[in-house]
Structure 1
Amino acid sequence: MFRKYEGSMNFFLVDASIHRRCVLMSNVQMFAEELKLVESKVSYPSGAKVELGKEITPIEVKDEPTVTWEADNDALYTLIMVDPDAPSRAEPTFREILHWLVVNIPGNKVTQGETIAAYIGSTPPQGTGLHRYIFLVFKQAGKIDATNITPKITIRESRRNANTRQFMAKYNLGEPIAGNFYQAQYDDYVDILRARQIKHNFFSVK
């Protein structure tokens, strides 16, 4: 049985089987291959746990989570987190917003990987409804030379219009081997979080 989370050009189809099937469409061309994904485990210091499509409040996801998956300890992995619904699911002109990017993760030890874009929490604008926040894990063919990843200016706008599909192709990542996502929408805490992120330059891309 499928639960459908629809967007303009972007949606997920999730079934209840052991191997979750997620269908993702990219920001430029339709990425509609059916993917067999093992559900990655994502838990936050607040106690919130990501369950496929479950709504979580912005305050619950303000801090970097712990993400784990079934991994080969001798392999390297990439973790990407994006919001495809920016500024809204109806008009995703900024699709995708890059929320987190870590490469060269040994096994599933995320803290030992190379952080390209530091984690930022969910700050959906007021009146834009639910946004999806998607975690995707890729097994790398080898070590990625992080120095070749073009640095971006350290402002909020630098995270707009990220393209997971292009990144996958550039670094020969293949299809994701694990993933998960939650949904969040604006509440009063978003304004506090945005001000805090700007003050501490949490939008930087390393």
Structure 2
Amino acid sequence: MEKHEVVPDVIDVTPTEIAEVKYPSGVTVDQGNELTPTQVKDIPEVKWNAESDSLYTVCMTDPDAPSRASPKFREWHHWLVGNVPGGDISKGEVLSAYVGSGPPQGTGLHRYVFLVYKQTGKLEFDEKRLPNNSGDGRGCFSIKKFAEKYKLGNPVAGNFYQAQWDDYVPLLYKQLGC
């Protein structure tokens, strides 16, 4: 994460554990490997050494919106789920529904960062719930500030991939009403 500057662009400290992230398309996230928007369009499976009696927050965020050279919308968050019991994201509270990668054409590689935070207990989130058919409310997010607000501490697990525009992106933009 240091090599690709996820630390310090997104978080201050590299998580001690790597989150396993696998997409239904069969691809796996591997510390900055390059994947395509087509490969990551569906909700992935995320695994980490979760304690069955603990709650977690899981986030996927892009610090490179609209481009790494000019990240004026840093960060654009793609997925945010809180109060995840154990490691079962499907039973968590969806704050922002999953949206796959949609880097604008010609903006190069974007980093897509998965972070898992262990909560100290059940949280009452006051964030507006965001559906997967609109991009409103996703830009200029900061997982670091979100973690501070809810006293999540540093992430316990993380991983990331990189992606650039492919021919799936216009379909995603249509889904988002762009």
Normalised TM-score (structure 1)? 0.80
- Give the Å deviation of 1:106: 0.6
What residue number does 2:161 align with?
182
- Give the Å deviation of 1:25: 2.5
What residue number does 2:177 align with?
198
- Give the Å deviation of 1:3: 7.4
Partner-residue secondary structure (3-state), 1:158: coil
- Give the Å deviation of 1:196: 3.0
Partner-residue secondary structure (3-state), 1:70: coil
Partner-residue secondary structure (3-state), 1:61: coil
1:132 aligns with 2:132: no
CA separation in 1, counterparts of 2:136 and 2:176? 13
- Give the Å deviation of 1:36: 3.9
- Give the Å deviation of 1:115: 0.4
Taking only aligned residues, the RMSD between alpha carbons, in angstroms, comes to 1.9
CA separation in 2, counterparts of 1:3 and 1:100? 22
What residue number does 2:9 align with?
25
What residue number does 2:37 align with?
58
Q: Following superposition of structure 1 onto structure 2, how do residues 87-166 of structure 1 map, counting pairs within 5 Å?
A: 87-146=66-125, 149-151=126-128, 155-166=134-145
CA separation in 1, counterparts of 2:104 and 2:32? 19
Contact 1:152 1:158 in 2 (8 A): no
The 1:140–1:152 alpha-carbon spacing in structure 2 relative to 1, beyond 3 Å, is closer
Structure 2 regions of 5+ residues with no counterpart? none
CA separation in 2, counterparts of 1:126 and 1:183? 14
Q: What number of residue pairs does the alignment pair up?
A: 176
Q: In structure 2, give the amino acid aligned to 1:159.
A: R
The 1:95–1:64 alpha-carbon spacing in structure 2 relative to 1, beyond 3 Å, is same
CA separation in 2, counterparts of 1:179 and 1:3? 12
> % of aligned pairs identical?
49
Normalised TM-score (structure 2)? 0.92
- Give the Å deviation of 1:42: 0.4
User: Bigger relative contact order, structure 1 or 2, given CA contacts below 8 A and separation 6+?
Assistant: 2
What residue number does 1:4 align with?
3
Structure 1 regions of 5+ residues with no counterpart? 6-10, 13-22, 200-206
Contact 2:2 2:8 in 1 (8 A): no
The 1:46–1:93 alpha-carbon spacing in structure 2 relative to 1, beyond 3 Å, is same
The 1:3–1:167 alpha-carbon spacing in structure 2 relative to 1, beyond 3 Å, is closer
Larger-Rg structure? 1
